[in-house]
Structure 1
């Protein structure tokens, strides 16, 4: 079996220590987490973990099975990239003088469909949402000008297919 990128979605109660136990499942199997995002879900009082890994389908099935054994976990799913719609976000802090002195910076911002979110005397901040490759491309274009600070989020993802999590939760009511 060949390695692929998988997005694992975990719906759970929001309890202290769950993230540590879930990350331990990956640690025991020596599987690196490429991206991790935890937030509220579309269901009240239910959190959603979005975990991105590169492994085989056999391993991801085992991992999802282990995750579902955690008491607070309601349900876990996994998808390949073709089955999801996903984005990441990034912000770049750049010296302000470049915004006015380097016309090329303005073109890079426009061509990358980024936006300037704040400007001060010392710096300005660019925001970009998109695929990881788009963010990496913008990073490489801005790098020669000097990036003062850079931060990128983990993947956020929704499945193309309807997920049956709402029906599962209805059964618990």
Structure 2
């Protein structure tokens, strides 16, 4: 199972190297990694996706807390949260009809065209990981030249609303 870990660390040189080294020594793979400044100056938030059962994630958490500069480790996999990724796609594009079709498909996904070349179109997509997979599938028939993805970033929802749970519920229709 894939787990989303949110790790707060002191923003100092070598912290990410020590974390990556910990994972490498233990034989764990980091599937996605995003790092950036947190809400407090001098603190960074690392959002990582790792595979493993609950026992492995517990072991990883304990090992992370042993590292200096690690302030907080939270497994937010089962916690209601907001998750987003950023992706840039460079797509083959020959002719105005193809260009129009790609732009129309991009708009369906609320993506933005950020560059137009003679034979390519570059699209920026922001959303949850499922959206990324879906737009890749739709646009792959044109030929994707390059993909750059940020990895997932996530914050817990203060409202406590679990959107994944809501997606599985049947919609009520209003009675007028």
Q: Give the distance between the partners of 1:81 and 1:33, measured in 2 at CA.
A: 19
Query: 2:166 aligns to what?
Result: none
Q: Give the distance between the partners of 1:78 and 1:22, measured in 2 at CA.
A: 16
Query: 1:49 aligns to what?
Result: 46
Q: Give the distance between the partners of 1:160 and 1:6, measured in 2 at CA.
A: 17
Query: 2:65 aligns to what?
Result: 68
Residues 30 and 49, structure 2, Cα contact 8 Å, conserved in 1? yes
Q: Give the distance between the partners of 2:90 and 2:82, measured in 1 at CA.
A: 27
Query: 2:36 aligns to what?
Result: 39
Bigger proportion of residues as helix? 1
Q: Give the distance between the partners of 1:110 and 1:11, measured in 2 at CA.
A: 35
Where in structure 2 are there 5+ consecutive unaligned residues?
160-176
Query: 2:171 aligns to what?
Result: none
- RMSD over aligned Cα, in angstroms? 1.9
CA displacement at 1:96 relative to structure 2: 4.6
CA displacement at 1:70 relative to structure 2: 1.2
Count of aligned residue pairs for this structure pair: 158
User: Does the residue aligned with 1:93 lie in a helix, a strand or coil?
Assistant: strand
Query: 1:88 aligns to what?
Result: 85
Residues 96 and 119, structure 1, Cα contact 8 Å, conserved in 2? no
CA displacement at 1:151 relative to structure 2: 0.8
Q: Give the distance between the partners of 1:144 and 1:14, measured in 2 at CA.
A: 43
User: Does the residue aligned with 1:63 lie in a helix, a strand or coil?
Assistant: helix
CA displacement at 1:38 relative to structure 2: 0.8
User: Given the alignment, which residue of 123, 141, 144 partners 2:141?
Assistant: 144
User: Does the residue aligned with 1:125 lie in a helix, a strand or coil?
Assistant: strand
Per the normalisation by structure 2, the TM-score is 0.80
Query: 1:135 aligns to what?
Result: 132
